[in-house]
């Protein structure tokens, strides 16, 4: 669980260009953690389809991307990657030296962002994942050429309201997409399979899915809070001739480890393809 102390909301205005699920997750995390007041969040999108979710949070909305830049100095760009270049070209005339611009779009490198914006614009990339909505996200950020330590610290302080946030070299952002962005779906598949195994053996469906999810949550907390390598915790659970080692043998026969590694590799390679 993210250990973020409740803080008095600042008067800082935070903008979102693009109002999809990830933008909503970040905004909701910031608001829930008290980092930003809802009325100080301004989101833009072409239609009301997603903006209604921001309004439900108490945020301001608009159909003008330029209005977001004119009202907010810190702006998250959470559009689809193929749409982002046109959006940046649209807002470039109103970008000033006061702005800190953060791209959440997968696969769009910092160099491309900087080319589309005025010289010396402070740009950063963030790779979040969906659990930001419950303040348990896993995020990495990378800074552009003109973003300094103060911009990194500002962004990290805000995003820690949504979970764990670490700075990495940009080359590792695509790996994070494969590991944690796509990894949410991989973990859901495993949780579903874990529960279905119990259902097969006679446990009611609702109970099986709740216990499977809690097992994942508890295991993750132990790994994070105790700083153990997963192999150590796995060894602690195994006893000679016991239930766990028999189950692990079945997983190895099914190729779980190799399939999971291949899934992260495939998702990472796709993220790299998008960046080209």
- pLDDT band of 3, cuts 50, 70, 90: very low
* Domains 14-170 and 183-275 are alike in CATH topology: no
**Is position 78 annotated in a ligand binding site?**
yes
Q: State yes or no: pLDDT of 108 exceeds 50.
A: yes
Half-sphere exposure of 222 (CA within 13 A, CB side): 14
The pTM for the full model equals 0.84
Is 80 annotated in a binding site? The answer is yes
The proportion of the chain whose per-residue pLDDT surpasses 90, expressed as a percent, equals: 82
Flag whether 240 is marked binding: no
Question: In CATH terms, is domain 183-275 a member of 1.10.3730.10?
Answer: yes
pLDDT in tens, 135-147: 899 999 999 999 9
Mean per-residue pLDDT for 147-152? 95
Q: What is the mean pLDDT of residues 149-170?
A: 94
Name the superfamily (CATH) of residues 14-170.
Answer: NAD(P)-binding Rossmann-like Domain (3.40.50.720)
For residue range 114-135, list pLDDT tens digits in order: 999 999 999 999 999 989 878 8
- Give the residue extent of every domain in the chain: 14-170, 183-275
């Amino acid at each position: 669980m993210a250990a973020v102390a409740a803080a008095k909301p600042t008067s800082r205005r935070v903008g979102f260009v693009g109002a999809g699920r990830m933008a909503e997750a970040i905004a909701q995390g910031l608001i829930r953690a008290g980092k930003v007041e809802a009325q100080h969040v301004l989101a833009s999108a072409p239609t009301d389809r997603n903006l209604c979710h921001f309004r439900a949070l108490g945020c301001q909305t608009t159909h003008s991307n330029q209005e977001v830049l004119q009202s907010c100095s810190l702006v998250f760009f959470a559009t689809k990657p193929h749409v982002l270049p046109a959006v940046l070209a649209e807002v470039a005339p109103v970008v000033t030296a006061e702005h800190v611009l953060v791209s959440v779009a997968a696969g769009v490198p910092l160099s491309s962002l900087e080319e589309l914006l005025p010289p010396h614009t402070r740009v950063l990339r963030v790779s979040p994942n969906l659990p930001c909505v419950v303040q348990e996200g896993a995020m990495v950020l990378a800074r552009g050429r003109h973003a300094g330590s103060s911009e990194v610290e500002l962004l990290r302080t805000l995003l820690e309201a949504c979970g764990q946030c670490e700075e990495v070299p940009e080359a590792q952002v695509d790996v994070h997409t494969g590991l944690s962005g796509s990894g949410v779906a991989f973990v859901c598949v495993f949780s579903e399979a874990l529960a279905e195994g119990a259902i097969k053996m006679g446990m009611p469906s609702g109970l099986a899915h709740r216990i499977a999810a809690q097992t994942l949550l508890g295991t993750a907390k132990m790994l994070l809070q105790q700083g153990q390598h997963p192999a150590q915790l796995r060894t602690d659970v195994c006893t000679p001739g016991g239930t766990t080692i028999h189950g692990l043998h079945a997983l190895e026969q099914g190729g779980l480890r190799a399939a999971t590694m291949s899934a992260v590799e495939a998702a990472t390679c796709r993220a790299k393809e998008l960046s080209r």
